[in-house]
Amino acid sequence: MDSVYRALADIVGEDYVSEQTEELFTYSKDLGTSEPRWPEYVAAPKTADEVSRIVEMANEQKLAVVPLGGGMSLAGLALALRGGITLDLKRMDQILELNEQGRYMVVEAGVSHGKVTSYLHKNAPHLMHSEPGAPPAATIGGNLAIHGQGDLAHPYGFNSDMINGLEVVLPTGEICRMGSCALGNQWYTLRPLPDLSLFMGWSGCTGIITKVSLRLFPCKKIQEQDVFVVENENLVPEILFKLTHVGMAEDLVVVSQEIPPPFNRLHYILINLAGDSREELEFKRQLIFDQNLAKYIQEGTGGIGAAGQDIERPVVSKTSDWRKGGGFEYVGAIVPVGFYPEGFRLGVEISARHEIPYTVLGRVVGCGHSMMFSWTYAFNRADNDTVSHARQALHETDERVLEMGGTLWKPAVFGQKLVMDRMDANTREMMKKVKTLLDPNGIMNPGNWEVA
Amino acid sequence: MALAQYKYMDIIHRCFRCGYCKFPQDWADVDNCPAYARHRLESYSNGGRLWLIRAWVTGEIQWSPHLADIVYSCVACKNCEEKCPLSFSDEIINMVVAARNEMVELGLLPPPVKDYLKNVQLHGNPYGLGAKKRGDWAGDLSVEPYADQEYCYFTGSEGAYDTRAQQAARSVAQVLQSAGVSFGVLGNEETDDGNEVDLMGEDGLFELLAEKNIATFKRRGVKKIITLSPHSFNVIKNKYPQQGADVEVYHYTQILADLIGQGRLRAPRLDGACITFHDPCFLGRWNNEYKAPRKVLKAVAGARIAEMQRSGKSALCCGGGAGNYYTDLLGASPDSPARIRVRQARETGADILAVACPNCLTMLEDAVKVEGLESEMAVRDISELFALSAQ
């Protein structure tokens, strides 16, 4: 038994550390197309103090530390690219405080989105948080580390905009707090302190998020989904502009997919509405359809696909079974809303070339300021050729997105390098300085966001 | 070395490992898979387990004692099958059992699993106790041998040999007697029901056990069976017909619920008691029977029934399924499912944790002791509550 294993066992307990092949194998793979990368140890800490002690030990040993939440990024962002210790943070799953009047809750970062939703449903049904379009096992901390977004993105932006404070274990082991919680024990705001948002979007390269003050928003009594359908992709941006002007939707998503065939080449604009009464909902629906979208209906270029549907949690995992193969990965890009037509055509073209049924999706983030656009490529985990095709399609999409002026969201290492190659030189140099300052031994999730 | 004969090679790669399998129905937490709750490492979730099995089958990793422990740590509670959104969800347990079939074939079993199977093979029960003692549970109860009564009362190995479960076996008999139910027992002619043997992957031994019990049923003219254990109920109902059985089978709570409906059973009075009920997996998720035990408990006069947050399809398994009540691959921790479950039960304020399964009875009663809750909460088989008024 080596000293690192012994040290980890002393910190987290024998039951929650492993250096055995079975655990290392399991954590060597994520759900996407990334090649396996084996950690040397896996540990599941329960507290920020345990995380801190592990990070201090890893610094002494010059050993990589890779934080892992739900492992849903698909892009290999929590694979141990340089070996070391994979920290499974899902035992840090406590809901610490609910402040109803202040509309926030303080949670440990390893708590799942499913647990938060369930907790609010039982304890504060008039409040909600933004669930990402991911399985409910996705964690709050992991989602922030990749700049996630989900429902409520239209009114409130990225999930990383929806926080009031953070607790983070720095790469040197100090436990540090951001926001009003740094002044005491109140978690109500990040501002107006100097901006130290160094931890979101870095995929754990600058520290490990351990606690979060999560903003909550009004959860109206009635939720529904309406659908507007158009055939011409060029109409989508102007329709989204009209919809964001009305400002009534809690989520605005456009989907087009080859399967099932009736959906092929059509664009489904999903409009999530909420109201505390039927009258409120009807008012919103009238504003949207009777006033803002009536033109398209009269012209025959658009139509109401559905109205008043229940909103169900998206079962994203089903995408993995489209080819009876257990796998999919997507390129996510943050792009202007006007990018939609070109992005759609790109998805159709690349998918066809790799013999993968196309699936594209765009979610409005903020009041039309940007859009998360995704190109999904399914593969058969048991068929290496299909995995290679999907991986190649992902890489081609990464390159084309940047050529078209988009930015990549939670890119894999391949995409990260493309981004940094194109990045303003001074910005890239600042990234390097920040990383070096925070993580002098380069132990935090090395291999990701490495400035050459 | 790849295992070419693995039965589910065409679908096992389709698990996405998305984690739905860990949740209860209301998404309250990721710890509703007993093995994952105990270990909290992805290798013990059913997604992790399926990926490991596939890697073993394809030769990507080699067998090890640790791999065998992981594969055998699944208690077959079916929580994963309830929550998995994919079309192959009802094959998840089968995929795990098929891996166990391979391990049995190759003789690569965890030692306690090997002991379990050896004991059943040699003695007809997992405890390694004499087959001739199988009928001793009845003691001085005047339980008749099965002749031509309406029902055959099948106690199963736990009811026959485990000292705590024997009390439940006796209670059921007393309650049936008090209600005037016509029943008899097979005594030493009964043998292990094979439910756990089947789930442990020992196909051949399961077939022998089933054939032996079925032959006894036929020889003695058994047409209707009442079981103490939901495990016996499950295997006789769902597996024995494939081996040629032609019997009706009921769990004893179904009979009791019927007797209450007919006014034939006198309910006990437990003034001020607060009872919570733990759904056994092999009655609930395996056979969709959630109502009968509740109907019986509701008849208890003066008591309040408090449901746990996780009940019915969301019930957390006690951790005793698929032989784990014996092999104990999930024990020895505050995170063992039985200990988590008794804490969940205590959260309701109940002073009686009612069960309807001899495995749950022993698992949860032991957990109550380890949790230091003996003075606050008693674990009782439903039959035991009714036996009070039957005496």
DSSP codes of every residue in A71-137: ---SSSTTS-TT-SEEEEGGG---EEEEETTTTEEEEETT-BHHHHHHHHHHH-TTEE---BSS-TT
Residue ranges for chain B with pLDDT beneath 50: 1
Average pLDDT rounded to a whole number, residues A199-204: 95
Q: Which pLDDT band holds residue A320 (cuts at 50, 70, 90)?
A: confident
Which of B229, B258, B287 represents a domain boundary (last residue)? B258
pLDDT in tens, B167-180: 999 999 999 999 99
Total number of residues shown for chain A? 452
B248 and B136 within one domain: yes
Q: What is the pLDDT of residue A1?
A: 62
Contacts with A, B 85-114, CB within 8 Å: 85-88
On whether both B17 and B46 belong to a single domain, the answer is yes
Cβ–Cβ below 8 Å for B64 and A22: yes
Q: Do B96 and B148 fall into the same domain?
A: no
| Interface contact A35, partner B, CB < 8 A | no
* The pLDDT value given to residue B1: 46
DSSP state of A235: G
Predicted pLDDT of residue A318: 83
More confident position, A321 or A144: A144
Residues 316-345 of B with CB under 8 A from A: 333, 335
Decide if B377 is inside a domain. Answer: yes
B116 inside domain: no
Same domain, B198 and B272: no
pLDDT at B391: 60
Interchain contact B274–A (C-beta under 8 A): no
Which CATH code fits A3-88?
A: 3.30.43.10
Q: How far is A409 from chain B (nearest CA, A)?
A: 20
* B86–A317 C-beta distance less than 8 A: yes
pLDDT of A449 > 60? The answer is yes
Contact of B103 with B109, CB cutoff 8 Å? yes
In a domain, B122, yes or no: no
Distances from the Cα of A29 to the Cα of A73, B37, B50, angstroms? 12, 21, 13
The reply to whether residue B28 touches residue A31, judged by beta carbons under 8 angstroms, is no
Q: Which residues of B touch A42 (CB under 8 A)?
A: 41
Tell me what pLDDT residue B107 has: 96
Sheet with A65-68, edge to edge strand ranges: A17-18, A41-43, A85-88, A65-68
- What is the span of the domain harbouring residue B196? 131-258
Global confidence as pTM? 0.96
User: Is B71 found in the same domain as B48?
Assistant: yes
Whether residues B247 and B272 fall in one domain: no
Contact assignment for B19 to A44 by CB distance below 8 Å: no
Edge-first strand order for the sheet with A370-380 is: A302-309, A222-230, A267-275, A251-257, A359-365, A370-380, A326-335, A407-409
B253 and B271 together in one domain: no
Tokens encoding B304: 């309040």
Across the interface, whether the CB atoms of A27 and B42 are under 8 A apart is answered yes
CB contact under 8 Å between B20 and A44, yes or no, is no
In chain A, domain spans: 3-88, 95-218, 221-410
- Which of A15, A25, A70 shows the shortest C-beta gap to B39? A15
Q: Which residues contact A379 (CB under 8 A, 6 or more apart)?
A: A33, A323, A325, A327, A328, A329, A356, A386, A387, A389, A390
- Chain B neighbors of A70, CB-CB under 8 A: 19
The mean pLDDT of A361-369, rounded to a whole number, is 96
Write the CA distances from B270 to B267, B305, B373, integer angstroms: 10, 11, 20
Burial of A122 (C-beta count, 10 Å sphere; 0-12/13-18/19+): exposed
What percent of chain A stands above pLDDT 90? 94
Among B30, B48, B333, select the one facing A26 at the smallest CB separation: B48
CB contact under 8 A, B29 and A115: yes
The answer as to whether B124 is a domain residue is no
Do A317 and B20 count as a contact with CB atoms less than 8 A apart? yes
* Fold assignment, A221-410: Vanillyl-alcohol Oxidase; Chain A, domain 3 (3.40.462)
Q: What digits encode the pLDDT tens for the residues A246-295? A: 999 999 999 999 988 888 999 999 999 999 999 999 999 999 999 999 99
For residues B69 and B160, state if they share a domain. Answer: no
**Domain boundaries A95-218, CATH class:** alpha beta
Whether B121 is covered by a domain: the verdict is no
- Partner residue opposite A318 with nearest CB, options B19, B70, B86: B86
CA-to-CA separations, A95 to A212, A214, A239, in angstroms, rounded: 10, 11, 40
Nearest one of B118, B201, B346, B42 to A31, comparing CA atoms: B42
Task: Kindly state the average pLDDT of the residues A356-382.
Answer: 96
Helices (H), A274-376: 278-285, 294-299, 340-353
What total number of domains does chain B contain?
3
Supply the CATH number for residue B208's domain. 1.20.1050.140
Q: Please indicate, yes or no, if residue B126 is contained in any of the structural domains.
A: no
Q: Is residue B273 part of a domain?
A: yes
What is the tens place of the pLDDT at every residue in A426-436?
999 999 999 99
Distances in whole angstroms, Cα of residue A96 to Cα of each of A446, B87, B95: 31, 37, 39
Closest CA–CA distance from residue B285 to any residue of chain A (Å)? 22
